[in-house]
Structure 1
């Protein structure tokens, strides 16, 4: 058996770290003297320290490391999971590198930083009949409301004739308490449907990560102001791709801001 100082030296890890591992239940001493409370470790526990070191390096959580120390059979699964996460992060940072290069070029040429104003078009949106659900929700429950929409469509035997959409009715961005309507365009007209009128609208077709949507909305708002328009109704979006199937950077959303000349 090794004292905590001997084990610390052998494992090349500070004794205070070993005490912390003991406190959180990650690596308990093999023995604690009942008289003086001295901690003692077995030589075999050096392998656990090495495991902890490498799994921390791979950004494993405390719970994941604890699971491996309790059951070594989980290790291959965890390593494969971490490899998959790292590949995803590498792709994400590669995309960020490309975006930074684009922004640097835009700034050098006197353009706007992270804005999409050059992609905005003034169009006439068509009149559409919608089957929809509308609730005031926490925006993080967006997916649950979408599930409710499709569930009610199934019950009503509604066949969509276009991409699902969202209409944001709140006057300000209040994510915990948002007045949100989710809908699908349909051909049938009955008492459970409503009409979305035709609008003159500023349109932006966006492809990318949903985290960039604030820049999309800022671009549309700035374009409207600079071109002497003002918003006359709630913005709405069409989701051309399914986020559960598309890669995060491959999502396609078409955003409309109904406007009129100021």
Structure 2
């Protein structure tokens, strides 16, 4: 048997934490002296202590660790818990990466006196065009890629012929910025006629006149581009005339480097009444 201090050294778990594990019933001493109250641990408990430490390092709380240890010999239940934790950690990592990019974007902005001057806004018109369209409500804007995955999967067997030029865009149908349950429509311009699939419709889109600007870099920069377009609309006597959309000239489909993304932010407009 091992005294608590000896077990602490061997397990690399502090005495304070061993006492905490005892309090919550996670790792009980093998024996407790009824007279002195001294706790003794068995060498056989070292693997359990190691599992607890590993699970804590993965971010599991004590209650979750207790559940995991209870299902340690049930592979299906254990795998489900680990899968859920992996998804959580991936989401947290993605959030941290977005925050780091936002931080770097702010650093770059602080190095310039007026970053909006870097954007050239143009008035354009897209003619009538045929497009594969998929409109869905998804949890948030960061999951926009889900639309493209479904669109590509459902049309893979149709051998779509891209238009020339081919525009891949997403229209934002909500009249406001929303934190959840966002209404988006992915559109890819194509040549020819094709049957609709479960989620994809082939539409003849009407012409649209819009003010737009192109920027390179991560999507966190879109606020600056929007500000440049808004200033142009105000200064040139136009008003907004329909839902905004983004055209993706270089997207995550072509590169994994956010600094190489090329995005055109587009706002349908018309001349203001005079």
Indicate whether the TM-score tops 0.5: yes
TM-score (norm 1): 0.63
- CA separation in 1, counterparts of 2:240 and 2:168? 22
Change (3 A) 1:260 1:206: farther
Determine helix, strand or coil for the equivalent of 2:183: strand
- CA separation in 2, counterparts of 1:215 and 1:150? 31
Match of 2:59 among 61, 71, 81: 61
Q: CA deviation at 1:149?
A: 2.0
Render the CA deviation track for 1:172-230: whole Å, top value 9, x for unaligned. Answer: 1234333321110112267932124141422233322x344444434433543355432
Determine helix, strand or coil for the equivalent of 1:120: coil
Question: Are 1:142 and 2:151 matched, yes or no?
Answer: no
Question: Are 1:231 and 2:230 matched, yes or no?
Answer: no
Match of 1:176 among 167, 176, 180: 180
Q: What value does the CA root-mean-square deviation take over the aligned residues?
A: 4.7
Gaps of 5+ in 2: 73-89, 196-201
Question: Are 1:185 and 2:177 matched, yes or no?
Answer: no
- CA separation in 2, counterparts of 1:215 and 1:129? 31
Gaps of 5+ in 1: 71-84
- CA separation in 2, counterparts of 1:139 and 1:92? 14
Residue 204 of structure 2: aligned partner: 194
Residue 130 of structure 1: aligned partner: 131
Q: CA deviation at 1:20?
A: 3.5
Paired residues, number: 235
Determine helix, strand or coil for the equivalent of 1:172: coil
Change (3 A) 1:3 1:216: farther
Question: Are 1:205 and 2:215 matched, yes or no?
Answer: yes
Q: CA deviation at 1:248?
A: 4.7
TM-score (norm 2): 0.61
Change (3 A) 1:183 1:24: farther
5 Å-filtered alignment, 1:99-138, equals: 99-106=105-112, 109=113, 111=114, 116=116, 118-127=118-127, 128-138=129-139
- Larger mean CA deviation between 28-37 and 229-238 belongs to 28-37
